[in-house]
Structure 1
Amino acid sequence: MTRAIPGTAQSDGSGVKAARTRERLLDATATVLSRKGFAGTRMADIAELAEIQAPAIYYYYASREDLIEEVMFTGASAMREHLARVLQALPEGTSPADRISAAVDAHLRHELELSDYSTAIIRNANQLPPQVSRRALAEIAAYNDVWRGLVADLAAVGQLRADVEPATGRMLVLGALNWTAEWWDPSRGPLSELIRTAQSMVLHALRP
């Protein structure tokens, strides 16, 4: 877990500087992790990207695993909170189908445009030791619960296809959305076009 070594970053009288350094380290780790995976993520690569000497990382995080654990948890929390904000901002009375459409938009924008953390999670969540993934997996479970509610609401108003098992349908949708991180490239067209296509396909797959 994340812990600062006493007598270093947190006691140097520069809390703001320490916080910014931590943020740079987390951002750099998310980028390296998303590109190289857990096994290929090295402290030297993180240090180079964060523009910090590699030994100095240990002033902020006791180990490579602590740093990666914090990235995974931070990213999973941010993704869940982003989805919650998007759904909460919808007008009262928004239909279940339109809420799912908004959730598709939120998922893809966060995954492909807003955060390397999301890609790091998608590519590494199932490859990490339990002590590194535990907090992140709890956040991912909470994220899935939001989607479970969205699909249940669609079923409650009679708009879920009779031949779609809710849990299976939800996981197939999330699997397809997650997989876009492996193949989508801006050269294929604008993100808005991908989102429109995904929204259409998801809703046509779930509804009669």
Structure 2
Amino acid sequence: MTTKATSTGAHQQSDGTRERILDATAVVLTRKGFAGTRLVDVGEQADLQAPAIYHYFKSREELIEEVVVTGVQQMHDCVLRALEAAPAEARPIDQLLIAVEAHLRQVLVASAYTTAATRNGGQLPDHLRHRYESARQAYGDVWRGLLTAAAEAGELKPDVDLGIVRMLVLGALDWTAEWWRPERGSFDQLVKTTQAVVLNGIAFP
């Protein structure tokens, strides 16, 4: 009984340390980028000695890969939750605008993981890109479905290419992580302006 309790406690502590390392990496990666992220910086952020990280991750690259993939998955889950919570009467174009807000909120407010993924996914070396690209593709499929539904409902301008629109919109949303700061204006105003740009650019008024 005592052995089992001790083992369980150690496992929980181990899991907590692993999460602390991941959380710290997300913060450091957001600040310093892929090339500038060092394990010693992660250790300082996590209040650990850098060598202790190797008990949980084989390498710096494995650690960064995990953070970036988690960030994309969190974005995916966030947008799906927002869509599931949409009113039953929401039109396809309304759902598209809900996704715009959810994406911005996740990148800029809710998750250091998603911010780190957005700012650094493109910097990953080729041998680390498979899981990241798979996660991005799955997330892109959500947007592909939203745009297709809006087009089939006759809510989008007929001359727009949905593939180009998807890449342009996602690129613009991701880029806000590079330039938006609260002193530039409220988050709500950013959402409203972005939604207006999407509506005026691809949807019928």
Match for 1:163 among 140, 159, 164?
159
Match for 1:57 among 29, 38, 53?
53
Deviation, 1:139, is: 1.0
Deviation, 1:93, is: 3.4
Q: What's the counterpart of residue 3 of structure 1?
A: none
Match for 2:67 among 29, 52, 71?
71
Q: What's the counterpart of residue 153 of structure 1?
A: 149
* Contact map agreement 1:99 1:150 (CA 8 A) in 2: yes
1:110 aligns with 2:106: yes
After superposing on structure 2, the runs of 4+ consecutive aligned residues of structure 1 that deviate more than 6 Å are none
What amino acid is the match of 2:97?
S
In structure 1, C-alpha distance between the alignment counterparts of 2:9 and 2:101, rounded to whole Å: 42
Match for 2:29 among 33, 36, 39?
33
Relative to the length of structure 1, the TM-score reads: 0.91
What amino acid is the match of 1:91?
P
Relative to the length of structure 2, the TM-score reads: 0.92
Superposition map of 1:1-208 within 5 A = 13-208=9-204
- Ranges in structure 2 where 5+ consecutive residues have no aligned partner: 1-6
- Ranges in structure 1 where 5+ consecutive residues have no aligned partner: 1-10
Question: What root-mean-square deviation, in Å, do the aligned CA atoms of Structure 1 and Structure 2 show?
Answer: 1.4
Q: Percent identity between the aligned chains?
A: 51
More divergent stretch after superposition (157-166 vs 177-186): 157-166
* Contact map agreement 1:72 1:133 (CA 8 A) in 2: no
* Contact map agreement 1:77 1:139 (CA 8 A) in 2: yes
Aligned residues: 198
Q: Deviations over 1:142-197 (max 9, x none)?
A: 11110011110110011111221111011111111111111100111221111111
Name the one with the larger helix percent.
2
